[in-house]
Amino acid sequence: MFTGIVAHVGTVRSARTTPSGARLEIELGPLAAGLGEGDSVAVSGACLTAVDIRGQAAGFDVVAETLKRTTLGRLSAGARVNLERALRLDGRLDGHLVQGHVDAQAELVRISGREKGQWVMEFSAATELTRAMVPKGSVALDGVSLTLTQAQDGRFAVSIIPATLERTTLGSLQPGQAVNVETDMIGKYVLRYLESLSARGGGGGLTLEKLRQAGFE
């Protein structure tokens, strides 16, 4: 489990294909201190397991499903990635509960407000993804915990403060590029439950349509 608060921006030392997917070697910087084989690290939002630690670098095996669902398959030597160690149970939850299980990718469409220092990033994504989003709700983009300012079918937007732009890879993101998206865990469970009610003919109970009619878009 993670919080979506990026602790360090690391650099990919190497990326090579393997029979089961890919092997990434990443420079972890201060996050390597105390890291053991088998420990979890969120790499641009995807939970990976450290399998080979050498100094401040570690190797990570990435399976085919993760390569398909995330942007990790496009990484090459020199690429920068957001990093976070797994959450300690006695630590602060400054972001929100993030599993490191990427749902899908979204594409950056537009950036506005740069001249005012209030960056708003608008993304396009599959409707199945945006259905689990609500304005003022939480979302993790490339492992960064953010608050949604807009959410509608196929589109969503987030506002990003200068400190986040400086401390993560989001500051170098350009229109047309993709990010890894993990929607809020609680929202996904609620959506799944409501869909199961509807599939069973929930009758007079709570439904997605009733929530929309009440203003919960």
Query: Does residue 96 lie in a domain region?
Result: no
Average of per-residue pLDDT across 172-201: 84
Query: Does residue 3 lie in a domain region?
Result: no
Q: Confidence band (pLDDT; 50, 70, 90) for 48?
A: very high
User: CATH no. for residue 60?
Assistant: 2.40.30.20
Give the range of the structural domain holding residue 69, as residue numbers without chain letter: 8-85
Number of domains the chain contains: 3
pLDDT digits (tens, 9 = 90+) for 4-35: 999 999 999 999 999 999 999 999 999 999 99
Q: Confidence band (pLDDT; 50, 70, 90) for 206?
A: low
Q: Answer yes or no: do 26 and 59 share one domain.
A: yes
Q: Answer yes or no: do 152 and 205 share one domain.
A: no
pLDDT digits (tens, 9 = 90+) for 104-158: 999 999 999 877 777 999 999 999 999 999 999 999 999 999 999 999 999 999 9
Say how far apart CA 128 and CA 145 lie, in whole Å: 20
Query: Does residue 90 lie in a domain region?
Result: no
Q: Answer yes or no: do 178 and 108 share one domain.
A: yes
Residues 6+ apart with CB under 8 A from 130: 151, 152, 153, 154, 155, 156
Query: Does residue 98 lie in a domain region?
Result: no
The answer to whether 24 touches 88, Cβ cutoff 8 Å, is no
Query: Does residue 77 lie in a domain region?
Result: yes
pTM for the complete prediction? 0.88
Query: What does DSSP assign to residue 71?
Result: S
